[in-house]
Structure 1
Amino acid sequence: MSLPPEYFHEINTLNREFIEASPDDILQFCADYFQRRLASQRHEFLVANPQSRKSGMVDPNIRGMQALQEDEAVASPTASSFPSNPFDTTMNASNPRDAGNGTTADGHQFNFGGFSASVGAPPSGGGDASNFPNNYNLNRRISVSAESLDPASTFSSNWVPPFYPKTKEQQTRLTNAVAQNFLFAHLDEEQSSQVLGALQEKRIPAKGVKVIEQGAEGDNFYVVESGTFDVFVHPSGKIQPGIEGLGNNVGTVGAGGSFGELALMYNAPRAASVVSAESSTLWALDRVTFRRILMDSAFQRRRMYEKFLEEVPLFVTLTPYERSKIADALESKKYPPGTTIIREGDPGDAFYIVEQGEAEVFKRGADKPINRIEKGGYFGELALLDDQPRAASVISKSEVKVATMGKDAFQRLLGPVESIMRRNDPRRGQAGMEEVDPLSKE
């Protein structure tokens, strides 16, 4: 029996990601990969078939996405029956869960059960049902892969994010606390304002307070303003009685770091315990707001860039998956008229694609531009291809919005189109965006 092409595509993609990540826990990595693929496919299907969202039905021809009936007696995990205070000292294993990735102030990530562990991946425990609390599934929503919030419906819903008034001093402290957090980097002004308003201050009075318990349900994501927190993982998958019940200390999260997002993103049990190492201050974001704003932002941003990349001639030969990987690596930047975006002679550290506006290319000694770049045009590639200084300057003629990609991502993701960029290299006597010598011919 011949296998379908889709099967080989998924396996090849999994192989590439596995080689890049080199995970310690192979089964957990594969499980996480297919969980993400299923969630992404479901989102795309629901966006393309809005009627399915209304009826609750899913096209039976979509493999792995058949809708499951929901028991009317099953309550939402965000219902009032779940305690809302994550610092209640009476919390036990049957109470809500809280752990995921942790991010330190310097950007180092701890992965508690994910695929890119840098501090020693904990066992997945997926094969032993006793690792989960007895009532883990009680009052849980039944679904295909996880609690579903369709990003496409966010803007049309009547949902209003919670708002906690803050003093000017609190606002300043909070802004500083989230300034370097990668999860907030791509939010627009409105989304950023909503998140800052929805964050709630939580003061931890002393050392030894369990903010998160391994194996419990997760209702909050946390940003550390001050203090430090120790991260523990027990091989059994949950806290055990006794002095050593927390398990092994696998890391520390300090000011500017964050933790708890993976359990909210994937509706998974907390995979680590987080305990205060001193009196500290946290800012907490509830599950629904986290998913509505942060996950929706990432989803909408990816969709926007995927659509944009489909219109860029350089990327038309790529597969949808390859374009989606590039879309995830892009960041938007705006430059007012007359701004030098890259300067001739500077080292190359980024690649640029023009989203809006017009820019001009200049060489030293030239009194007029040697090229113009408009929407869909790109520049900055030659310095990255050959690891050479910038060969020309690019200056915005009007307000310019660009999608930019760092050097590492460029070299990792743009291999499939490298030959096209080299073919367009002006040093080979063809038109290009970053001129070396417009008069030279080979």
Structure 2
Amino acid sequence: MSHPQDIHPFAQVDSEEYNVLISELNRQVVEHQPEDLLQFCTTFFLKKLEDERAESRQYDQHPLATSQHHQSLGPDFHPSLDEDMHDDEERDTISDDMPSLSVPPPSRGRRTSVSAESMQPSHNQEDYVKVVIPKSEDQRARIRTAIGNNFLFKNLDEEQYTDVVNAMVEKREPVNTHVIEQGAVGDYFYIVESGNLDCFINGKKVTSYGPGGSFGELALMYNAPRAASIVAVTDCVLYALDRVTFRSILMENTARKRRMYERFLEEVPIFKSLEIYERHKIADALESVSFDDKEIVIKEGDSGDNFYLIESGEATFYKKLPDGTQQEVMVGKKGDYFG
């Protein structure tokens, strides 16, 4: 008699479908010879998943309609040519709109899967209502200091940064308070302003947190139970960010910015010939920086360490003449690049 743990993880996989899928992927790799194989494969599988879910949503909306069954494993996938991949709203986001625990409709010739909440951002950003908790200027300054060096917030733009500060709530926890219980549902992400806390897993201390430390993000990002217990060993002042705001700001807006960068890159001449997965990589590497009017971005003669694309505004270029004077040579606008 076999036990559940003895079942091979692929025992329930449709071997024929699996073989067809892998064969098609192999053909695409041979045909396109991608430089970044992992990104190419990721794009391939995301496209397959989106097609399958789009078909499921269409069936849900028109369950009695007679239609041809579209093969999600057909030979029509071309990462560099497929026009669907250029759709700004669907290119990188796999929707998890359908309730994962709902009773399935009659058989559609496909396996039914149940999954946890997706880490991928949804398209319901407009449903997110910004949280504004009144604070004194002193509190706002302290929160900015607390999150200023936290890696999760380093790449936020000013609007997102302000949204985080507005949504943060101050929590004062006395000594011996169990701020987080292992196995509980994740509701807040915490940053420590003052005090010290210990982290326990199954009753064993594994680490400690002090001023500037943060905890609780994994349960919010992955919709998972708390992996550890956090106990205050002194009186503490914490700043807490609720789950919805955390996901909306740090995940939804980040994905939206990525799509914005990709659209922007499509308009830049030197990037137009790139494969879509190559633009994905560049978009992920971009970081917004702002400069005041008349501020020097780069100086002639300095060593170059950055490549710049003008996202908005204008940049004036000057060339130093032999007599030491500066001569304007051009004005760069959106889409221009330098460095």
Q: 1:351 aligns with which of 307, 318, 327?
A: 307
Find the counterpart in structure 1 of residue 244 from structure 2: 288
Kindly tell me: are residues 337 and 199 of structure 1, through their superposed partners in 2, closer, same or farther at Cα, counting changes over 3 Å?
Answer: closer
Kindly tell me: are residues 303 and 65 of structure 1, through their superposed partners in 2, closer, same or farther at Cα, counting changes over 3 Å?
Answer: closer
Equivalent pair of 2:196/2:210 in contact (CA under 8 Å): yes
Matched, 1:375 2:331: no
Structure 1 residue 189: Cα displacement: 4.6
Matched, 1:261 2:217: yes
Find the counterpart in structure 1 of residue 189 from structure 2: 221
Q: Which blocks of at least 5 consecutive residues in structure 2 are unaligned?
A: 1-18, 64-68, 74-93, 104-112
Equivalent pair of 1:165/1:197 in contact (CA under 8 Å): yes
Q: Which moved more, 1:269-278 or 1:332-341?
A: 269-278
Kindly tell me: are residues 65 and 289 of structure 1, through their superposed partners in 2, closer, same or farther at Cα, counting changes over 3 Å?
Answer: closer
C-alpha distance in 2, partners of 1:48/1:333? 37
Find the counterpart in structure 2 of residue 161 from structure 1: 130
| 1:305-324 mapped onto 2 (5 Å cutoff) | 305-324=261-280
C-alpha distance in 2, partners of 1:314/1:370? 21
AA in 1 matched with 2:253: S
Q: 2:101 aligns with which of 66, 70, 73?
A: 70
Equivalent pair of 1:200/1:285 in contact (CA under 8 Å): yes
Equivalent pair of 2:100/2:115 in contact (CA under 8 Å): no
Find the counterpart in structure 2 of residue 12 from structure 1: 37
Query: Deviations 1:164-195 (Å, cap 9, x if unpaired)?
Result: 33233322322222223333344445443433
| 1:413-432 mapped onto 2 (5 Å cutoff) | none
Structure 1 residue 221: Cα displacement: 0.9
Equivalent pair of 1:224/1:258 in contact (CA under 8 Å): yes
Q: Secondary structure at the match of 1:341?
A: coil
Structure 1 residue 353: Cα displacement: 1.0
C-alpha distance in 2, partners of 1:345/1:327? 28
AA in 2 matched with 1:378: Y
Kindly tell me: are residues 355 and 169 of structure 1, through their superposed partners in 2, closer, same or farther at Cα, counting changes over 3 Å?
Answer: closer
C-alpha distance in 2, partners of 1:15/1:160? 36
Kindly tell me: are residues 185 and 62 of structure 1, through their superposed partners in 2, closer, same or farther at Cα, counting changes over 3 Å?
Answer: farther
C-alpha distance in 1, partners of 2:130/2:51? 26
Kindly tell me: are residues 272 and 328 of structure 1, through their superposed partners in 2, closer, same or farther at Cα, counting changes over 3 Å?
Answer: farther
AA in 2 matched with 1:153: N
Kindly tell me: are residues 197 and 62 of structure 1, through their superposed partners in 2, closer, same or farther at Cα, counting changes over 3 Å?
Answer: farther
Kindly tell me: are residues 334 and 69 of structure 1, through their superposed partners in 2, closer, same or farther at Cα, counting changes over 3 Å?
Answer: closer
**Under a length normalisation based on structure 1, what TM-score does the superposition of the two structures give?**
0.51
C-alpha distance in 2, partners of 1:370/1:376? 18
Matched, 1:144 2:115: yes
Equivalent pair of 1:47/1:152 in contact (CA under 8 Å): no
Structure 1 residue 283: Cα displacement: 1.0
Find the counterpart in structure 2 of residue 3 from structure 1: 23
Structure 1 residue 45: Cα displacement: 7.2
Equivalent pair of 1:215/1:272 in contact (CA under 8 Å): yes
C-alpha distance in 2, partners of 1:148/1:182? 19
Moved beyond 6 Å, runs of 4+? 40-49, 63-66
**Under a length normalisation based on structure 2, what TM-score does the superposition of the two structures give?**
0.64
Query: Deviations 1:296-355 (Å, cap 9, x if unpaired)?
Result: 110111110011112222223333233222212212223344321111233433221112
Query: Deviations 1:102-149 (Å, cap 9, x if unpaired)?
Result: xxxxxxxxxxxxxxxxxxxxxxxxxxxxxxxxxxxxxxxx95342578
Equivalent pair of 1:43/1:150 in contact (CA under 8 Å): no
Q: Which blocks of at least 5 consecutive residues in structure 1 are unaligned?
A: 17-33, 73-141, 240-244, 381-442
AA in 2 matched with 1:318: L
Q: Secondary structure at the match of 1:361?
A: strand
What percentage of residue pairs aligned between the two structures are identical? 42
Question: Number of paired residues?
Answer: 275
Matched, 1:303 2:328: no
Structure 1 residue 199: Cα displacement: 1.6
Kindly tell me: are residues 337 and 45 of structure 1, through their superposed partners in 2, closer, same or farther at Cα, counting changes over 3 Å?
Answer: farther
Equivalent pair of 1:149/1:292 in contact (CA under 8 Å): no
Q: Secondary structure at the match of 2:328?
A: coil
Structure 1 residue 47: Cα displacement: 12
Q: Secondary structure at the match of 2:327?
A: coil
C-alpha distance in 1, partners of 2:238/2:135? 14
C-alpha distance in 1, partners of 2:328/2:247? 46
Q: Secondary structure at the match of 2:193?
A: strand
Q: Secondary structure at the match of 1:296?
A: helix
AA in 2 matched with 1:284: A
Equivalent pair of 2:181/2:229 in contact (CA under 8 Å): yes
What is the alpha-carbon root mean square deviation over aligned residues? Answer: 4.3
AA in 1 matched with 2:333: E
| 1:50-69 mapped onto 2 (5 Å cutoff) | none
